[in-house]
Amino acid sequence: MDNNGIPVSVMEILKSFGAVSGADGSALSNADVVKGHDLAWGGPGNLYTIRPYTLGPAALEVFTVRERIHVDIDGLGEDLVDLHGIGVYRRHEPRIGAEGAQELTWTTATIGAQFLSLQVVGDSEVFGQVRVTNTPWKREGATVAPAQPGGGKVTPLKNCVTLLFPRFEIENLGAMVDTGDVPVAVESRVNMVPPIGDVSRTSHGYALFDGSRQVGTLIAADLEIGALLHHIPIETAKDPVEAYAVTSV
């Protein structure tokens, strides 16, 4: 059913059909849709700011982060929370990652990064203020590696897998909870580094613990990488391959 060749809005169909609970927007609670930062949508006056399909030298980089988490906590309930803040990573020198490749190019490269800091904060009617941080004394990082989405065809697309040990400080629980020894994996598809505009998502839930006691579940997490705030070249950051060698989850 089209309107003069223009498709009828899929969002309107979703809202009117009612197959999904909360499709009128109430499922989002106080959060918003995760669609990718505005920088990634272009348009007049919004020229994309990062060189695409281009390898850069190692660097320390700081960028804005938005994280939407869907959490269920025993005794408090379930809610979606929008969190905003910053992330810092040390991006390592690219290396050849495609099997059989002899030349380092965007298409053949694998790029590792060490996550140094994540600090995001948001508010929920159910949980009060929520702050999410990383765990810097554990190995946390990302690997951007060649993908083959075209049935083996070499393309510029790369998989980006990030492993983090997030800690959730929840005001109304009066405690900080985490995922124990299980890292949270978020994955995305990228064609630029740093991945400004990238959206990465979990593919399953994670148990949340207060010490050794399970107190809830991280049902889903969706992350948007926003603006690059700072870029500092690093001379000696080599990729510790074994530490962050994750290519899919």
Partner 1 sequence: MTATAEASTGATRLDTAALLDAYRAQVTPAAKAFVEDRMSGNELRSRWLPYFQGPFTEYELGVQAAWRDAFGPDHGIEPGPPHADPAYAEQLRHFPVTISHNNLERLVDVLAVELGDRTASATVTPERVIDFAYVIDALDRFMASLVLTS
> Between residue 190 and residue 249, which ones bind partner 1 under the rule CB under 8 A?
190-194, 197-204, 219-220, 222, 228, 231, 233
The nearer residue to partner 1, 153 or 212, going by C-beta atoms, is 153
Q: Which amino acid belongs to residue 64?
A: T
CA angle 155, 110, 67 (to 5 degrees): 90
- Is residue 88 near partner 1 by the rule CB under 8 A? no
Select the span of 103-111, 122-130, 173-181, 234-242 touching partner 1 (CB under 8 A).
Answer: 103-111
State the nearest-atom distance from the C-beta of 207 to partner 1, in Å: 15
Quick note: the x/- pattern for partner 1 over 137-176, rule CB under 8 A, is ------------xxx-x-xxx-------------------
State the nearest-atom distance from the C-beta of 14 to partner 1, in Å: 4
Of 104-123, binders to partner 1 (CB under 8 A) are: 104-107
How many binding residues for partner 1 (CB under 8 A)? 77
Residue 136: C-alpha distances to residues 139, 140, 178, 237 (Å): 7, 7, 13, 17
> For the purposes of burial, counting CB atoms within 10 Å of the CB of 36, is it exposed (0-12), middle (13-18) or buried (19 or more)?
middle
State the nearest-atom distance from the C-beta of 40 to partner 1, in Å: 4
* Interatomic CA distance for residues 86 and 117, integer angstroms: 8
Select the span of 19-27, 120-128, 133-141, 176-184 touching partner 1 (CB under 8 A).
Answer: 19-27
Sort residue 15 into left (φ over 0), alpha (ψ -120 to 50) or beta: alpha
What are the structure tokens assigned to 77, written together?
């309930």
For residue 88, what are the β-bridge partners? 62, 117
